[in-house]
Amino acid sequence: MTVVFGIFLLTLLLITAVAIVRTKNLFVAVMLMGIASLLIAANFFLLDAADVALTEAAVGAGISTVLFLGTLALTTERERAPTSRKILSFAVVSAAALVVIYATFDKPRFGSPDAPTQTHVAPWYLDKTREFIDIPNVVTAVLGSFRGYDTLGEVFVVFAAGIGVLFLLAGAPGGGKRPAPPGSDVGLSRHLIPRVVGRLLIPFILLFGLYVQFHGEYGPGGGFQAGAIVAAAIVLYALLEGEEKALQVIPRRVLLGLSAGGAILYGGVGVAGMLLGGNFLDYSVLADDPVKGQQTGILLIEAGVGLTVTGVLLSIFHAFAARGRQA
């Protein structure tokens, strides 16, 4: 039955993708991207990949639509007329698609127990998580400890991406200061129902973010998801009360500090492991009991991931909003 549901959702995803490519109106494309994100998350969920599904949900539902619309506010909604190289690009795309389809013939069947992923390291992870780390969610164990280097790389990629966006978008400091429009007519403060309900929900979103952050060792969740959810709560506040109010709550400097601090915290845990006589990112030496040490290390690095993701996403959001005010 999973296969039938999955194929149905993938068909819808295909229709959405074609519609995104065909539409000339970029606003419509943004809305269809929202649907695509929901479909992908539902598909991940069907395949039992709850952690990935939660990441897609946290980023796709709250942040990405807001950032896309922020981009659209800076440009136009209409796609420019396509250049004349249509046939050439179509040929390139079809050739690439044929290669990819040809490659799928060599792949193992869906759910096959002989697939390399099932026979190579996965059984070892499933086997040893209990002995070495003793947390129920193996995904978090793999992400945080066994493959800690990869996650460290991801965090630095997120950090570098944020710095890159800031370099591109953030103008001269203080250059974009335009007096706020008269009255309290900023954000959605005139729209009473969204404002009341939104303000009511912000604490619950933050609470849920913390739950996802610290429950990651027991269920789906972790730093990436929690960072995106917390950022969504602050973005909601910025939408309701105007972006300046949100900057008063968490100024830009603090956001930069969060982005860098999270990455430093992650790296610092690794260095601390070295100083205590272990390898880089070997958490076993962090406490007397190796298992306890592993758990402490994972908790710390997940906190670092969460801080970096929150800081970077909010910095990007504010960079777009500041550009919008300048224009």
Partner 1 sequence: MNAVLDVASWVLLTLGGISVLIGGIGALRLPDLFTRMHAASITDSIGAILVLTGIMLQAGLSLATIKLAAILLFLLLTSPTASNALAAAAMLAGNKPGIDTTGGKDDAQ
Partner 2 sequence: MYYVVTLATLVTMALALARAVMGPTVYDRVLAVNMFGTKTVLLVSVIAFLFGRPDFIDLALAYALINFIGVFAVLEFFRTRAVRREADEGAGRR
Answer for the pair 287, 126: CB distance below 8 angstroms, yes or no.
no
Residue 221 binds which entry of partner 1, partner 2, none, with Cβ cut-offs from 5 to 8 Å by kind? Answer: partner 2
Query: Between residue 199 and residue 228, which ones bind partner 1 under the rule CB under 8 A?
Result: 200-201, 204
**Burial per residue of 80-104, b for 16 or more beta-carbon CB atoms within 10 angstroms, e otherwise:** eeeeeeeeeeeeeeeeeeeeeeeee
According to CB under 8 A, which one of 6, 194, 267, 268 is a site residue for partner 1? 194
Closest by Cα among 279, 283, 256 to 269: 283
Name the 3-class secondary structure at 25: strand
Crossing angle of the two packed helices 223-241 and 192-214, in degrees rounded to 10: 160
Q: Select 197 or 249, whichever has its Cβ closest to partner 1.
A: 197
Q: What are phi and psi of 14, to 5 degrees?
A: -65, -45
Minimum CB separation of residue 201 from partner 1 in Å reads 7
Footprint on this chain of partner 2 (rule: CB under 8 A) = 1-2, 5, 8-9, 12, 15-16, 19, 25, 27-28, 31-32, 34-35, 38, 41-42, 45-46, 48, 50, 53-54, 57-58, 61-62, 65-66, 69, 72-73, 181, 185, 187-188, 191, 194, 198, 201, 204-205, 208, 212, 215, 219-221, 225, 229, 232-233, 235-236, 239-240, 324
Q: Using CA atoms, how far apart are residues 153 and 272, in angstroms rounded to an integer?
A: 18
* Partner from partner 2, partner 1, none contacting 200, C-beta within 5 to 8 A by type: partner 1
3-state secondary structure of 105: coil
Q: Of partner 2, partner 1, none, which one sits near residue 122, judging by CB under 5 to 8 A according to partner kind?
A: none
The phi, psi pair for 269, rounded to 5°, reads -60, -40
Give the one entry of partner 2, partner 1, none that residue 53 binds, where binding means its C-beta sits below a cut-off of 5 to 8 angstroms depending on kind: partner 2
Rounded Cα distance, 103 and 238, in Å = 46
CB of 58 to partner 2, least distance (A): 6
Of 158, 123, 146, the C-alpha closest to 298 is 146
Stretch that binds partner 1, among 38-46, 104-112, 135-143, 190-198 (CB under 8 A): 190-198
Residue 227 backbone zone (phi > 0: left; psi -120 to 50: alpha; other: beta): alpha
121 lies in the site for partner 1, by CB under 8 A: no
Contact 225, 55 (CB under 8 A): yes
- Using the rule CB under 8 A, is 17 a contact of partner 1? no
Q: State which residue, 194 or 290, has the beta carbon closest to partner 1.
A: 194
From the list 20-28, 85-93, 148-156, 276-284, the region that binds partner 1 by CB under 8 A is 20-28
| Identity of the residue, 28 or 115, whose beta carbon is nearer to partner 1 in the bound complex | 28
Query: For 250, phi and psi rounded to 5 degrees?
Result: -125, 100
Residue 297 binds which of partner 2, partner 1, none (CB < 5-8 A, kind-dependent): none
Residues that bind partner 1 (CB under 8 A): 25, 27-28, 188, 191, 193-194, 197-198, 200-201, 204
